[in-house]
Chains A and B, each alone.
Chain A
Amino acid sequence: MNNLVSIVDYGLGNLFNIQRAFNAIGVDSIITSDPKEIINSSHLILPGVGAFEEGMVNLRKQNLVEAILDFSDSGKSVLGICLGMQLLLSVSYEDGKHSGLNLIKGEVVPLKKTSDIKIPNIGWNELIKNSSSGYDDMLLHGISKDSYMYFLHSYQVKAKNAENISSSTVYGDNKFCSTIHRDNIFGCQYHPELSGKNGLKILKNFINI
């Protein structure tokens, strides 16, 4: 089967720059909210910028929750980006308590504000690779340690199981999970499509998994 990436469109975030990044690495992609197209594709990207609750509401409204869960059950690779990563977790405490897709155990909590940082975190931060994650760091293969990625977020992911943490990132007093992995499910808090050549490499790794 040829690679065809579904970039799930549920009304949040700029999906075109993700598609452009796949174009640049020579991988076909579609922007879609059609469950049939999603299930027939080879890889799934769950993008998203914005609020957790609105994200889940939109996914449910468009019957996409089931499509995403079916897709991940099939064993094909899923990558959540930014809010899309947070949606993979069990629960979020952004404006109340909201349940997520529960594909990876853990929770989403606010970044703690200290005097030396601003929220949201907008900018480039280092990835600290977790060498003891128990998983081969497939998504981060070939990425030098301490590489910088572009972040844009106010909430952080706390994985329940340390073995799911492929990388951590420090911002102010916060140390959060920046790359997450369980079986065929991957997530990154940063935007690989906006993280220069390292970011493109991560997308390439995702396709080659």
Chain B
Amino acid sequence: MKSTVRVIPRLDIKGPNLVKGIEFEGNRVLGSAEYFAKKYYDEGADELIYQDIVASLYRRNGLLDIIRKTSKDIFIPLTVAGGIRSVDDIREVLRAGADKVAINTEFISNPSLIKDSSKIFGSQCIVCSIEVYAFKGVYQCWTDYGREVTNFNAIDWAKRAVDLGAGELLVTAIHKEGTGQGYDYELIEKISNSVSVPVIACGGAGNEKDPSKVVNQSNADAVSMSSILHYHYMKHIDTHTMKYNESQLRMGIPIDSGNIDFLRDGHGGSRELMVEPCSISSIKRNMEEQGINVRKMTNSEE
């Protein structure tokens, strides 16, 4: 029997807020990260990914607070990404409550960190995050949250990262990310079929069927998604609650600044919603219909 395919919501985090953009740009604030993390745990998420979207850029890590707060009442594996640059950084993030770390930028500039860190913490805890932009038919790796291009070819780098000791690969197609056009099926298939470790597909899920597709077509071992879930679980918050939540966002403190127009005005405005929001259970239901094993919540969990 195959293992169950994991459904892993990805939370892009800026300060205390959950944000979401398109192709890593134009991030809008959607609410407090803690609220969404707890919600996803309760709704049957199999793991969570926290991506600190500014850490890499400013060489700092602002996620520790959120990790500490949320890991107190969330008992599924938590992978943390963003700005992790050393063995000491990894230790600090694990100590705060993470179970795994995902690293992109630093692994590319210092591949021996994969070897060192997997030796110290075990491969199971070291995820190599690969952020890819397809350019003229070539899959290039990008770093610093989609700001710097490298000469690394994604498929070659994936194989090398596994040889160096990475226990899992988180593969994000930047050109699909936030667009709702579906995953980059070819990219995920190429990588999944050339490595022995699990591959988490990320970027592009636009409806409840896309995750099933990337499993059956591209052989993904786990599926990650953001917009389709975020916008689904947002819409159950009425205006009053949203106003109430607004105070939790700590707006006005410069470090937490972000675009809250979406929260204030809802859909429409300068950007339409590009995805069909859906719940975790509807994603899993679709996967089951497509013959994919998923973890189901059982009676004893209620």
Contacts and interface: CB of A to CB of B under 8 A. Distances in A.
Given A118-B3, A143-B300, A148-B4, 20 more contacts: A12-B122, A13-B122, A16-B94, A16-B95, A20-B72, A20-B97, A120-B123, A122-B167, A122-B168, A123-B3, A123-B46, A144-B298, A147-B298, A150-B76, A150-B77, A171-B1, A172-B1, A193-B75, A197-B302, A198-B298
B75 A199 contact: yes
8 contacts: A16-B95, A120-B167, A122-B3, A122-B124, A122-B168, A148-B295, A172-B1, A196-B301
Most buried by B among A116, A151, A197, A200: A197
A24 B3 contact: no
Interface in B83-131: 94-95, 97, 99, 122-125
Contact of A123 (B99, B167, B197, B222): B222
Interface of B: 1-6, 41, 46, 71-73, 75-77, 94-95, 97, 99, 122-125, 167-168, 196-198, 221-222, 295-302
Nearest to A121: B3
A16 B221 CA distance: 27
B67 to A, nearest CB: 11
A95 B181 CA distance: 46
Nearest to B94: A14
Contacts of A75: none
Nearest to B192: A118
List of 7 A-B pairs having minimum Cβ-Cβ separation, nearest first: A124-B295, A144-B298, A148-B295, A197-B301, A144-B300, A123-B3, A147-B298
Contact of B71 (A20, A116, A121): A20
A117 B197 CA distance: 10
Given A143-B300, A147-B298, A117 B2 contact: yes
A194 B76 contact: yes
Contact of B301 (A49, A116, A172, A198): A198
B92 to A, nearest CB: 11
A152 B124 contact: yes
Contact of B72 (A24, A122, A196): A24
Contacts of B41: 196
B75 A123 contact: no
Contacts of B299: 144
Contact count band on A: 35 or more
A23 interface: yes
A138 interface: no
A122 B124 CA distance: 8
Contact of A146 (B76, B125, B298): B298
A142 interface: yes
B77 A194 contact: yes
A142 B4 contact: no
Given A17-B71, A197-B75, A124 B122 contact: no
A119 B37 CA distance: 28
Contacts of B6: 122-124
A201 interface: yes
Contact of B2 (A50, A143, A172, A198): A172
Interface in A131-189: 142-144, 146-148, 150-152, 170-172
Interface in A38-63: 49-50
B298 A195 contact: no
B198 A49 contact: no
A104 interface: no
Most buried by B among A119, A124, A152, A195: A124
A170 B2 CA distance: 9
Contacts of A152: 124
Given A123-B3, A123-B46, A144-B298, A196 B196 contact: no
A68 interface: no
B45 to A, nearest CB: 9
A90 interface: no
